[in-house]
Amino acid sequence: METLLISCAVGLVIAFVVSFSFRAQLKSVHFQNEASSYLREDSVNVDERSEYYTYSTRSVRSNGNVSGKNTINAHGGFDGPGGFGGPGGPGGSIGF
C-alpha cells in the first residue's frame, strides 16, 4: 500500500512538471525586470566594498528533521569572524 502511495505521489509530481512545462511553451509575454540590455559598455564601477558580521542563527537537524532552536551571538566590527555557540538567549524559531 505504501509503495502504491509513493508511486502515485511521484507520478503526480512528474505529471505536473511535464504538462506545465509543455504549457509554458505557449507563454512568451513577460515584463522585463531589468534594463541590462541598455547598460553602457564599461560603465559599471563598484569602488566601495565592505562587509561585516552581524549575527548568527543556529538550527539543529537530526534524522532529516529540523527542530527550530537557535542561539545567537554577535560581534561588531569589520570582517569580524563571529562567534559560535556563545551564551545566547532562549532560541526563537527560524526554519529553512
Partner 1 sequence: MSELKEYKCPCCGGGIEWNAKAQKMKCPYCDTEFEPETLLQYDKDLSKLEDDDLTFENEANAGWSEEEQNKMNLYVCQSCGGEVIADNTTSASSCPYCGNPVIMKGNLSGDLKPDYVIPFKYDKKAAKAGYQKHLSGKFLLPKVFKDENHIDEIKGVYIPFWLFDSDVSGNVIFDATKEIVHHREEEDIIETKHYNVIRGGSVSFDNVPVDGSTKMDDALMESIEPFEFKEAVPFQTAYLSGFLADRYDVDSEASKKRARERIIESTISEFKDTVTGFDSVTTKDTSLKFSKGNVKYALYPAWILNTTWQGKKFTFAMNGQTGKFVGDLPTDKTKFGGLFGVTFVAITIIMYILLKLMGM
> Residue 78 has which C-alpha cell?
569589520
d(CA 91, CA 89): 6
Residue 36 binding partner 1, by CB under 8 A: yes
d(CA 73, CA 88): 6
Q: How far is the CB of 5 from partner 1 (least distance, A)?
A: 10
Residue 1 binding partner 1, by CB under 8 A: no
Partners of 65 in beta bridges:
62
Residue 68 binding partner 1, by CB under 8 A: no
Q: Give the x-and-dash track for 16-35 against partner 1 (CB under 8 A).
A: x-xx--xx-xxxxxxxxxxx
